[in-house]
Chain A
């Protein structure tokens, strides 16, 4: 119980610090959103528009920083993040509601798949270290993992969408499908998600594979594994119940972190496949000094990461009695 209380206090303090940094950092960047708008349009926008933009954005009156901070905390507590400046005059909540489902769907599912495949392969390749198949699998995934993602995604999109035309080039679903929730629409969404998801899964799997394999190898050399073998337990039982169960703990922490970061989106995937999501919106909001939007997204990322960690910590206590008792 003491452990849980300690975790909760830690959670709250970290959240407050992160919130405050989230408020201060963007305001230390020079310039203002109106000037960012002029730069964004490379001269297309009449500079005279700056006056009008400042009034529209509400930045013509300088507000006291403390007042802004109070305002900010109030907004966070009420969940009303105000109006976005880079997508003026859409409310921040609406922009996020467009983007978050796509990010969760694409990046969340791909992360889970990549983790599952990577971990399974890690177990297998560690168990059968000497086999030729693991000799082939490891270098391939290592190569895919260390390839620049942007380049890889462009290549995939060029080959399979542009040249071979097997998959759509852009978008999240086809436009020619009636609105609403129906089978054709779901099929179209899945079809459009295949390429972006594949690029994420292919490049991310290698990381999980390597971590899992390394853990597994060190666990396999432990005495209790040798004992289990001596006892004559079936290989499958030793492989999964004895070795893998213990070896997965460090990977599990990493997985919790990765799930937390899912909400920050996959900027490069979104750019290459023009897929909707949070990554690009976050990028735009930072470029355009869109404080309300930026703060809301950072807040969500922060909450997601902290929560994922919190849950991982609790799970850890369940999985590993040493954590619970504080014993070495």
Chain B
């Protein structure tokens, strides 16, 4: 990382000397447009509520300690400047930035950081990332002087750093007097971030913010104003982008290349980096989904290329890797021996596998189990009206019919869908990885860690939707969390990957992405494959805030 930074510095110096570097233009307004799920902004500016539970401008007002890029793990220092694991990883020391002021003029210190963490301990309703949960091992957070915060653990848990660094820091001198912080709406937010709240119009769903003139990062942000707007349909947000009424949209047109980029390839940019995967969950607490060979046969029988084309017009980042590791993390975390593993569409291989465990077709082409009983009709659960999932379910249903497995598509409203998945009453369901993060650990941890799994059908499974656990995976996850040595961590992840490839606990379908649509009509400096300074997250998250300090006038 340091080498790279040095290199960048050297190159930029060279450019400046050669006079090639144009001075960056200041001013202008960054206009964000959200559609679909964003339709109505919450008017609370309490940063400790979950993302989406607060007004999106909160992410530009309150800062976190470090921005950890979930694509590649690169760290941008914000309120924290450096960190160090000590005492066999039982202590984490974070140095906080000097010379930072809250927007009311009070100096920011490490005590504000300690206060924030102890505050969410006191009010569990605010502990959205569960940093104080019984599994986290976090014991105490204290300030040591003005610039050091000390986190103490009862057991090592190095991956928690990602969650700790992602919590917005609030000023002690204001929040210490708030009586009920959970319903506190924080109408006059005081933060350290690059923008200050100006006004909002709930009727029009627009929020305005202006540049913080005393922002600690000198010369940033480049733009003067921020206009965040949400409309109630994706079509409208796309029209607004096309009309240059917005510069940045989180919108998901069915075919973004054709409907957005191709309309004006010079100006209309999109960057949809893969951050997750679409998974066909098979309920491993029901037969025959508890048989690994059966699950693998299902995986082989599904034409994943066709899912990518038909459900996403090719813009979802392609077929997911059979280990579920997202492309940007494969270089670092994928076992080289597993690089070429591929569960390519092969109904014939699937058939052979089924035969090997005694499953045969009867004369009417229906699949029978090893006792000669015809398999019942299974339901494929998807969210009601989620067109991409419904298309995938239709293709999967056809594919499975070739094996003699009958399925019907079960569309349920969001809450019912989630409740069936979590309580394990479903047969098959299309859903995503429950966890995300800068390394595969976060995906696997949420996906397979026993405390997040339900021991029997009906019992809530917090994030292990397949209800699959494996002692080797559990041990590997624990090894990973105990160490800060990346080589040991890699070995642990490799071990998990091998189990996943052998045992097929999940059937990976296609990749999932963030949806950044950027217009270069007025502003440039958007994140891209060549400049992935964030993951094209939405404006209400620390990653989105990175974009607001990086874009500038053409």
Contact = CB atoms under 8 A, between A and B. Distances in A.
B239 A43 contact: no
B185 A47 contact: no
Interface in B62-120: none
A285 B52 CA distance: 15
A32 B413 CA distance: 12
A148 to B, nearest CB: 15
Judged by DSSP, the binding face of B is loop
A78 interface: no
B236 interface: yes
A48 B133 contact: yes
Interface in B416-454: 416-420, 422, 431-436, 446, 452
A170 B231 contact: yes
Contacts of B240: 169-170
Interface in B344-388: 383
B40 A271 contact: no
Interface string B537-548: 010000000000
B293 to A, nearest CB: 29
Interface stretch (A17-25, A227-235, A246-254, A274-282): A274-282
Interface string A169-194: 11111010000000000000000000
B42 A88 contact: yes
Interface in A74-110: 83, 87-90, 98, 102
Contacts of B50: 37, 45-46, 49, 52-53
Contact of B419 (A30, A171, A271, A280): A30
Which of B49, B52, B415, B434 has the most chain A CB atoms inside 10 A of its CB?
B415
A171 B420 CA distance: 37
A162 B235 CA distance: 11
B417 A43 contact: no
A272 B233 CA distance: 7
Nearest to B183: A89
A311 interface: no
A40 interface: yes
A40 B201 contact: no
Contacts of B127: 51-52
B310 interface: no
Contact of B125 (A37, A55, A289): A55
A35 B44 CA distance: 21
A39 B203 contact: no
A29 interface: yes
A45 B537 CA distance: 13
A169 B245 CA distance: 10
B44 A40 contact: no
Contacts of A281: 40
A168 B276 CA distance: 37
B238 to A, nearest CB: 10
A47 B462 contact: yes
A318 interface: no
A30 B40 contact: no
Contact of A50 (B40, B206, B276, B462): B462
B182 A89 contact: yes
A173 B416 CA distance: 37
B463 interface: yes
Contacts of B276: 43
A33 interface: yes
Q: Which 10 A-B pairs have the closest CB atoms?
A: A31-B415, A39-B414, A31-B419, A48-B130, A36-B415, A43-B432, A56-B125, A274-B231, A35-B418, A89-B183
16 contacts: A29-B415, A29-B416, A31-B417, A40-B52, A45-B52, A49-B128, A51-B124, A55-B124, A89-B183, A89-B184, A169-B240, A271-B233, A276-B204, A280-B39, A281-B40, A288-B414
Given A47-B434, A47-B462, A157-B236, 6 more contacts: A31-B418, A47-B446, A52-B127, A89-B183, A158-B239, A169-B243
